[in-house]
């Protein structure tokens, strides 16, 4: 399966100059735990960072910093943003996420424009669905075997 097929196409974004308070408000309003930091580039939204609810708690609230005085750009401390290509195999995306120690990555097209986001929660949901399908297959196989023996 391709990452672009599995990703969530509804992505909430924020400009890197927005305050941590505004990021918190957006997360609350949209019931999400992350915002992709983007910039406009030739009419495209290009991801340049990611801010999570955990970033806000650990880097702002726990340190008693005024959330109006910190921008989301200040919170993104990674050397570079890890992204996944829309046509990348999901298995490769999982490997990349594991090796970089991240639980969510923006998904981009061939030009680097944002098209979605994939999270570990998304992948767990997919895996749970696949396990359910396997369980149903086993049950159905048993039913067919019983029906054949009774015939």
Tell me the per-residue pLDDT of 41-69, one tens digit each, with 9 for 90 and over.
999 999 999 999 999 999 999 999 999 99
Alpha-carbon gap, residue 99 to 114, rounded angstroms: 22
Write down the residue that tokens 């030739």 correspond to: 42
What are the extents of the domains in the chain?
A: 3-119
Q: What is the pLDDT of residue 125?
A: 83
Residue 133 has pLDDT above 80, yes or no: no
Q: What is the mean pLDDT of the chain?
A: 92
Beta-carbon contacts of residue 130 (< 8 Å; ≥ 6 apart) = none
Residue entry with tokens 């609350």? 28
**Do 7 and 115 contact (CB within 8 A), yes or no?**
yes
Q: What is the pLDDT of residues 16-45, one digit of tens each?
A: 999 999 999 999 999 999 999 999 999 999
- Contact between residue 1 and residue 38 where contact means Cβ atoms under 8 Å apart: no
pTM reported for the whole predicted model? 0.82
Q: What are the pLDDT digits (tens) for 112-128?
A: 999 999 998 888 888 88
3-119 CATH pick, 2.30.110.10, 3.10.20.70, 3.10.105.10, 3.10.580.10: 3.10.580.10
């Amino acid at each position: 399966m391709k990452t672009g097929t599995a990703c969530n196409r509804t992505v909430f974004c924020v400009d890197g100059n927005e305050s941590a308070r505004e990021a918190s408000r957006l997360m609350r309003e949209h019931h999400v735990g992350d915002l992709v930091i983007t910039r406009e580039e030739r009419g495209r939204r290009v991801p340049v960072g990611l801010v999570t609810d955990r970033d806000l708690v650990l880097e702002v609230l726990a340190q008693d910093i005024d959330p109006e005085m910190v921008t989301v750009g200040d919170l993104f401390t990674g050397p570079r943003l890890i992204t996944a290509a829309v046509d990348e195999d999901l298995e490769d995306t999982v490997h990349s996420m594991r090796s970089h120690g991240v639980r969510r990555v923006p998904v981009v097209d061939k030009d680097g424009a944002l098209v979605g986001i994939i999270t570990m929660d998304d992948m767990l949901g997919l895996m749970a669905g696949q396990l359910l399908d396997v369980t149903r297959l086993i049950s159905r196989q048993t039913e067919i075997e019983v029906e054949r023996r009774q015939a």
